[in-house]
């Protein structure tokens, strides 16, 4: 997955990738390979509402799957965020539920993402389902989100999987001031671990992150730039397979 990683990279990014990958493998990707995990599709009618559930959203295939105790309950088609407005990769919780208006299909299930308001909702654009078309939220067909809303409680874990590289999804994007996302969140963690970032880890590229980037560039004799580009990633030791 990675080539020539530096020690601190193992400590931060690699660990994050392994944790997230393990969650996905255990719950979604390879659950049928483990004898101690049942593979029967229970269906919503056999759901035990008193037992915890996990929602796994794969934005590379635009599917949302609900699991309970290793059993697949149901899979829905959904829509993830556009490349310019990506969905928040990572593990979150549903912290709010509401019956929002028509534009949201009458249902809203909000996540505890620190850099913005993200959640699962319906849409007045059903043709947008099945491809990455949203502003970062997880869109569903209105009938599907109404069904999900009825049986998924506040506190349910939601794992959003965006590709093999953990918080970076499927590629390393150029990041500029004002941008937000899981990759910004991860970079703040890396720079904090290295003693450069002193702010609050929130996934927002603000002045505090800009200061940390400039200091890192200066200490490593790099050109001073606000943009996080491939050269900066590589100097941090972040390499993805070509």
Catalytically active residues, by annotation: 121, 137
Token pair listed for 27 = 């719950």
How many CB atoms neighbour CB 10 within 10 A?
Answer: 13
If we measure between CA atoms, which residue out of 159, 155, 157, 120 comes closest to residue 141?
120
- State residue 184 phi and psi, 5-degree precision: -65, -45
Q: Distance of alpha carbon 201 from its chain centroid, rounded?
A: 15
Quote the CA–CA distance of 46 and 85 in Å, as a whole number: 36
Token pair listed for 192 = 């904090």
CA torsion, ordered 163, 167, 171, 175, to nearest 10 deg: 150
Contact 191, 213 (CB under 8 A): yes
Contact 187, 202 (CB under 8 A): no
């Amino acid at each position: 997955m990675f080539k020539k990683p530096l020690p601190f990279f193992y400590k931060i990014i690699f660990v994050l990738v392994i944790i997230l990958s393990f969650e996905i493998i255990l719950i979604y990707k390879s659950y049928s390979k483990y004898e101690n995990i049942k593979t029967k599709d229970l269906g919503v009618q056999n759901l035990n509402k008193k037992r915890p559930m996990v929602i796994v959203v794969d934005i590379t295939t635009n599917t949302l799957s609900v699991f309970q105790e290793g059993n697949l309950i149901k899979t829905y088609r959904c829509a993830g965020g556009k490349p310019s407005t990506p969905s928040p990769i990572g593990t979150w919780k549903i912290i709010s539920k509401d019956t929002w208006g028509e534009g949201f299909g009458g249902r809203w299930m909000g996540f505890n993402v620190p850099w913005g308001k993200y959640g699962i909702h319906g849409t007045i654009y059903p043709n947008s389902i099945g491809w990455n078309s949203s502003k970062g939220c997880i869109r569903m067909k209105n009938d599907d989100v109404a069904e999900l809303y009825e049986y998924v409680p506040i506190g349910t874990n939601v794992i959003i999987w965006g590709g093999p590289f953990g918080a970076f999804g499927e590629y390393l994007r150029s990041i500029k001031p004002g941008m937000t996302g899981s990759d910004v969140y991860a970079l703040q963690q890396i720079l904090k671990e290295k003693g450069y970032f002193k702010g609050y880890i929130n996934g927002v590229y603000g002045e505090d992150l800009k200061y940390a980037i400039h200091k890192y560039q200066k200490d490593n004799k790099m050109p001073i730039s606000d943009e996080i580009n491939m050269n900066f990633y590589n100097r941090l030791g972040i390499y993805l397979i070509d």
